[in-house]
């Protein structure tokens, strides 16, 4: 019985979508009077928002941080009050009633580490978003190359003990390495390192400098040049 009524709700939503589509198409196909075009224009807006909400029952969001208390899930640093932040709506594991909670990210950190959620949200953002095109491309790359969102920065090996996750050889002390983090249930757990020269095969791309610098902001321009050189063995 409960299942039936749930099915009824879904059908109603689909039917509503279809009606809107038909109305919009009909208006476009018969531009007879001057009244028709504005009507079609008005109808497209609710149609767009409906598609976004159908894709994600709990829509994610981008907004100005109201306080500076939230920390970014990806980089662990605070998100300054007034700065734009990305909120990923997820089921709250501590709620019995199907409640939800929000995981906050700096906007670039979200594009780099949560590309699917970020891309799902982007069409609903109409306010100016700094670097929007670049962030969209970064997120698309993260979807195309499934390990790319694991990039968590770069640095020189502090010891010669770490083993590269790709080639299984040790990474010599003071050599550059890319740090990886694995996302699971809202947490990013450190999950080892790879040689810069192993990026092409492990990550399927060497276009990683923007993410590396996002998560390792202390890198200098000279460091970045060295990293770029070693990424292309
Ligand atoms: Zn961050
Ligand atoms: Zn390696």
Please name which ligand lies nearest the alpha carbon of 211: 1
Please name which ligand lies nearest the alpha carbon of 84: 1
Query: pLDDT value at position 227?
Result: 98
- CATH code for 148-231? 3.30.1740.10
Distance CA 85, CA 65 (A): 6
Distance CA 143, CA 137 (A): 10
Q: Sorting pLDDT into bands at 50, 70 and 90, what band is 233? A: low
Across 36-43, average pLDDT: 37
Residue percentage of the chain with pLDDT more than 90: 67
Across 23-45, average pLDDT: 37
The residues placing their C-beta within 5 Å of ligand 1, an ion, are 72, 74-75, 106, 109
SS3 of residue 155 by DSSP: strand
Please name which ligand lies nearest the alpha carbon of 167: 2
Across 53-65, average pLDDT: 74
What distance in angstroms lies between residue 228's CA and the mean position of ligand 1's atoms? 23
What distance in angstroms lies between residue 109's CA and the mean position of ligand 2's atoms? 25
Q: Which CATH class is domain 61-144?
A: alpha beta
- Does residue 45 have a pLDDT over 80? no
Each residue's pLDDT tens digit, 123-175: 999 989 999 999 999 999 999 999 999 999 999 999 999 999 999 999 999 99
Distance CA 193, CA 206 (A): 15
Please name which ligand lies nearest the alpha carbon of 188: 1
Distance CA 181, CA 202 (A): 14
């Amino acid at each position: 019985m409960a299942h039936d009524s749930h099915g009824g709700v879904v059908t109603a939503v689909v039917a509503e979508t279809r009606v809107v589509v038909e109305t919009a198409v009909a208006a476009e196909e018969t531009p007879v009077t001057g009244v028709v075009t504005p009507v079609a224009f008005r109808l497209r807006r609710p149609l767009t928002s409906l598609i976004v909400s159908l894709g994600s029952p709990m829509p994610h969001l981008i907004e100005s941080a109201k306080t500076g208390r939230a920390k970014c899930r990806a980089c662990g640093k605070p998100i300054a009050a007034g700065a734009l932040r990305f909120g990923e709506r997820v089921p709250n594991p501590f709620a019995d009633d199907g409640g939800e909670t929000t995981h906050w990210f700096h906007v670039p950190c979200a594009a780099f580490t949560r590309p699917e959620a970020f891309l799902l949200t982007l069409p609903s953002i109409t306010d100016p978003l700094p670097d929007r095109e670049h962030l969209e491309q970064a997120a698309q790359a993260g979807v195309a190359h499934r390990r790319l969102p694991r990039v968590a920065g770069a640095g020189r090996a502090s010891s010669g003990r770490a083993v590269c996750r790709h080639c299984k050889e040790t990474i010599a002390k003071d050599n550059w390495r890319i740090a990886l983090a694995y996302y699971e249930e809202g947490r990013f757990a450190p999950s080892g390192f790879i040689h810069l020269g192993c990026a092409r095969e492990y990550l399927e791309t060497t276009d990683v400098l923007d993410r590396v610098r996002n998560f390792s902001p202390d890198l200098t321009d000279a460091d970045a040049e060295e990293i770029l050189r070693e990424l292309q063995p």
